[in-house]
Structure 1
Amino acid sequence: MNIAVVVLNWNGKALLEKYLPSVLTHSALAKVYVADNASTDGSLEFLSQQYPEVVVLKNMTNLGFAGGYNEALNNVEEDIYVLLNNDVEVTKGWLSPFLRLFASNTSIAAIQPKIKSIQQPKNFDYAGAAGGFIDALGYPFCRGRIFDSIEEDTGQYDTEIEVFWASGACLAVRKECFRLADGFDESYFAHQEEIDLCWRLKNLGFTIMYTYKSEVFHQGGGTLSNSSPHKTFLNFRNSLSSILKNSERNPYPILFVRLLLDGIAALRFLTQGKFSHFFAIFKSHISFYTKFIDLIHKRHQLQKKKQIFVVKSIVWHSFVLGNKKYSRLKMINK
């Protein structure tokens, strides 16, 4: 198997200067690409002058995470894609565990490494941590991170296991599986598109894996910070879209409950004085409902297979029962 590392970039020259050297140093097994979403900050000139060995894939406009990768990967023919944020520092030997796992089982479609925080290197990173799961209401969480509660890495998740979703911050995926699933849903633009992709891959019968034997460090917020109302909008809207498209169960009762819970989340923002985030949730639902018919059509096109939920409600476990660590969750297989 040959492997391509594809770094998505939009006006991230400073991030490329900081993190691309580690990618080139530790990726001798791979061909390195930068997929550029029409940057205007000198990113392309920097790459041409400093790293002419990197293959640059130029998108004509900013297509976001989903569209940017879809467009660029049309021109990448390696067997394995490793999709990497431009704010990730990789480590020695990080690619070998991916190749070993893919070779061990042809049903494995995607893999993520252990993702830790650059700012707090002993801690897991928000975006993916030690592998992602989803509850019966469609809320995503990770081993090592539940909502905003992030654990220190003490080796408690040093196991290679099947997970529900792999983080887009560092996502290794088979080309044939990516293309079979028609890539990312470009209507998402950014945020939670990797959860949607992994959900669809699982519904097609493939397996998503986590390996602790590969480790990377993620800065986070390179494009949209956690304080961005637009990020709130995308996360809430795209989560609802994934439920309607992919849930094996009747999605309408789930969406009704999510409507109530999202209302509570909006009121919480309101009481905190975060008015722009309050309105972002409102706008996310309006956007979701305007796309409802298209999402129903997509749902009808997708094959469905049995799903595994680790817990029925991560909201209940986290906010009512006070379980802030994955290891404390009651395992419930459905």
Structure 2
Amino acid sequence: MVIVTWNGAHLLAECLDSVLDCGAKILVVDNASIDSTTDLLASDYPQVQSVRLPTNTGFAGGVAHALTLISTPYVVLLNNDAAVRPGWLPALLAPLYAEPRVAATSSKLLLPDGRMNSAGGLVTAAGYAHDRAFGQPDDGRWDEPVELMYGCGAALALRVEAVRAVGGIDPRFFMYYEDVDLSWRLHLAGWSVRYVPRAVVVHQHSATAGSGSLLHTFYTERNRLATLVRCGSAGMAVRAIARYPLTTLSVGLFESRPKAARRVRAYLSFLRWLPALLAQRRRLGGRSARLEVQRRLLERA
């Protein structure tokens, strides 16, 4: 089990306390925290393995580093702002054990007030990713296991063989959309991504970065475009890239100039990344595979 943390000592104790009895080996990847994380782990959790990185590599970088250290057939990712319910881990792993083409299983995430945080992920035709059921009551509607466009990285089990076969977690994502990108690549390679409603986790949504922050804007916008170029159909990617400047202008005029400025920075960063993304695209599935994934799994308007 891999838990990536950055200045999250105030969150980490509840998370670790919830998983200590799961029977899994736990690895905490500390992204150069400057709070009391190191002392907390040493004093209160000596049984937990940890590695401290010299710089903050983000969630994606932390997971990518962890994958170089593990030799198990499965790995479970858990956010530092999450606490698991009893029975979570066996339920989450069961489809991976039972079905050899299942590469990822996604938990049922609840907000602290009991409403739904995520029943897995959806991607719109415009390439925007969002959680199924976010903010909805946990009233039984989200209790069916289904195939997902993407599994939420906040509490996600992965078949390591499959992840490595499609290129692993891309550390350049830093945070946001790394789970969308990975799941999409798994689909293109013929793997399955499954929602497991019996695997329940309570999640303090965006406790580290904040869902409305300028940091959130930069990484979600840049990484969305990167994911579409690498994984989506040509038409889907071209439309998103072409619309982006107009949408950014509208944001600057009618919403927030700082947010628009951050969107411009995201676009420039994406353009610098574009040649590498195009090269990676050519190594993934062909046109028919991309269209088939979108036909089956994209959210319908």
TM-score (ref. length: structure 2): 0.92
Closer/same/farther in 2, CA of residues 102 and 270 from structure 1, 3 Å limit: same
AA at the equivalent of 1:124: M
In structure 2, what is the equivalent of residue 331 of structure 1?
none
Once residues 271 and 242 of structure 1 are traced to their aligned partners in structure 2, the CA distance between those partners, rounded to angstroms, is: 27
Q: Alignment partner of 2:26: what SS?
A: strand
Deviation at 1:252, TM superposition (A): 4.8
Q: How many residues align?
A: 297
Once residues 162 and 198 of structure 1 are traced to their aligned partners in structure 2, the CA distance between those partners, rounded to angstroms, is: 11
Which residue of 151, 154, 159 maps to 2:139?
154
Deviation at 1:111, TM superposition (A): 0.6
Once residues 253 and 188 of structure 2 are traced to their aligned partners in structure 1, the CA distance between those partners, rounded to angstroms, is: 37
Which residue of 116, 119, 122 maps to 1:124?
116
Over aligned residue pairs, what C-alpha RMSD do you find? 2.0
Post-superposition CA distance 1:114-167 (Å, at most 9, x none)? 11101x21x111xxx11112122212133203xxxx211211121011101001
Post-superposition CA distance 1:170-217 (Å, at most 9, x none)? 111011112112211122111111100111111111000001111101
Closer/same/farther in 2, CA of residues 253 and 56 from structure 1, 3 Å limit: closer
Which residue of 268, 293, 297 maps to 1:307?
293
Mapping for residues 4-153 of structure 1, pairs under 5 Å: 5-25=1-21, 27-28=22-23, 30-118=24-112, 120-121=113-114, 123-125=115-117, 129-145=118-134, 150-153=135-138
Post-superposition CA distance 1:1-57 (Å, at most 9, x none)? xxxx111111111111232211214x12x1111111122212122111111110112
AA at the equivalent of 1:271: F
In structure 1, what is the equivalent of residue 247 of structure 2?
264
Please tell me whether the aligned partners of residues 134 and 310 of structure 1 are also in contact (alpha carbons under 8 angstroms): no
Which residue of 125, 146, 168 maps to 1:183?
168
Please tell me whether the aligned partners of residues 108 and 200 of structure 2 are also in contact (alpha carbons under 8 angstroms): yes
Which residue of 294, 297, 317 maps to 2:279?
297
Q: Alignment partner of 2:88: what SS?
A: coil
Q: Alignment partner of 2:201: what SS?
A: strand
AA at the equivalent of 1:307: V
Q: Alignment partner of 1:138: what SS?
A: coil
Closer/same/farther in 2, CA of residues 266 and 22 from structure 1, 3 Å limit: farther
Closer/same/farther in 2, CA of residues 110 and 192 from structure 1, 3 Å limit: same
Q: Alignment partner of 1:171: what SS?
A: strand
Post-superposition CA distance 1:76-95 (Å, at most 9, x none)? 12221110100001010001
Deviation at 1:74, TM superposition (A): 1.0
Between 1:108-117 and 1:240-249, the stretch displaced more is 240-249
Please tell me whether the aligned partners of residues 59 and 72 of structure 1 are also in contact (alpha carbons under 8 angstroms): no
Post-superposition CA distance 1:59-100 (Å, at most 9, x none)? 222111111111122111222111010000101000111222
Closer/same/farther in 2, CA of residues 141 and 266 from structure 1, 3 Å limit: farther
In structure 1, what is the equivalent of residue 190 of structure 2?
205
Higher helix share: 2
Please tell me whether the aligned partners of residues 127 and 236 of structure 2 are also in contact (alpha carbons under 8 angstroms): no
Once residues 146 and 299 of structure 2 are traced to their aligned partners in structure 1, the CA distance between those partners, rounded to angstroms, is: 21
Once residues 80 and 313 of structure 1 are traced to their aligned partners in structure 2, the CA distance between those partners, rounded to angstroms, is: 29
Which residue of 149, 152, 162 maps to 1:164?
149
Q: Percent identity of the aligned residues?
A: 31
Unaligned runs of 5+ in 1: 318-334
Once residues 57 and 292 of structure 1 are traced to their aligned partners in structure 2, the CA distance between those partners, rounded to angstroms, is: 32
Closer/same/farther in 2, CA of residues 208 and 67 from structure 1, 3 Å limit: same
TM-score (ref. length: structure 1): 0.83
Once residues 86 and 313 of structure 1 are traced to their aligned partners in structure 2, the CA distance between those partners, rounded to angstroms, is: 29
Q: Where do 4+ consecutive residues of structure 1 move more than 6 Å?
A: 310-314
AA at the equivalent of 2:84: V
Please tell me whether the aligned partners of residues 34 and 55 of structure 1 are also in contact (alpha carbons under 8 angstroms): yes
AA at the equivalent of 2:125: A
Unaligned runs of 5+ in 2: none
Please tell me whether the aligned partners of residues 34 and 54 of structure 1 are also in contact (alpha carbons under 8 angstroms): yes
